[in-house]
């Protein structure tokens, strides 16, 4: 029988931005910190990669809950990737890697994909959101000035849209919150789908 306690959810993410976004829409949540390998497999496209990572996070979080005898609540995971020329840029290993990412992205548009998984007992749904971000043709000096803020660290594509880097963005086609790391409308609809599923089971 399904556990129907959805008064709270677990957020399996270390991202402070995702925490802020859930707080913004008054979601009652608790953080679960998990680590899984995040490496693109051979011949794996960016969409398949992002969906796989999200679902692996959800399964790892479920295992963590069971092994630690924690209360059973729905588990929310998310994965954000920056893609250019079909290459997943990932998070920068160091300053030089971040600088090279910016050199690739300047004066062009790139894709930001955020995938979200909601899992609760037998229920699991995964949805991906794709957005395009258009950057100005920024100079090397402007890139260095941004990287000096440290805001690029631990961020896919070496930038956060809600930060100093926002001044270099000409426009976006898609969802701002998805680019930030958590598409709120998608989260809302997933939670509604879960409620409907539980009502029928």
Residues annotated as part of the active site: 79
Quote the crossing angle between the two packed helices 184-200 and 16-24, to the nearest 10°. Answer: 70
Per the CB < 8 A criterion, the answer to whether 14 and 35 are in contact is no
Question: Which of 188, 169, 189, 190 is CA-nearest to residue 180?
Answer: 169
| Tokens standing for residue 140 | 């090397």
Rounded to 10 degrees, the C-alpha dihedral 32/88/48/6 comes to: 20
- Distance between CA atoms of 167 and 169, rounded to whole angstroms? 6
State the Rg of the chain over Cα.
18
Sequence length of the chain is: 201
């Amino acid at each position: 029988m399904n556990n129907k306690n959805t008064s709270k959810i677990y957020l399996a993410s270390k991202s402070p931005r995702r925490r802020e976004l859930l707080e913004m829409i008054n979601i009652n949540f608790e953080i679960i910190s998990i680590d899984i390998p995040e490496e693109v497999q051979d011949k794996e496209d960016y969409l398949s990669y992002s969906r796989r990572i999200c679902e692996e996070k959800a399964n790892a979080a479920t295992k963590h809950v069971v092994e630690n005898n924690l209360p059973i609540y729905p588990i929310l995971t998310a994965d954000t990737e920056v893609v250019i020329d079909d290459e997943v840029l990932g998070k920068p290993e160091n300053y030089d890697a971040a600088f090279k990412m910016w050199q690739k992205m300047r004066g062009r548009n790139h894709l930001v994909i955020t995938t979200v998984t909601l899992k609760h007992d037998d229920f699991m749904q995964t949805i991906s959101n794709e957005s395009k971000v258009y950057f100005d043709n920024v100079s090397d000096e402007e890139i260095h000035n941004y990287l000096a803020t440290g805001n690029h660290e631990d961020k896919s594509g070496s930038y956060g849209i809600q930060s100093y880097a926002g001044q270099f963005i000409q426009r976006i086609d898609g969802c701002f919150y998805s680019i930030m790391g958590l598409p709120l409308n998608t989260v809302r609809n997933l939670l509604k789908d879960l409620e409907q599923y539980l009502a029928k089971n």
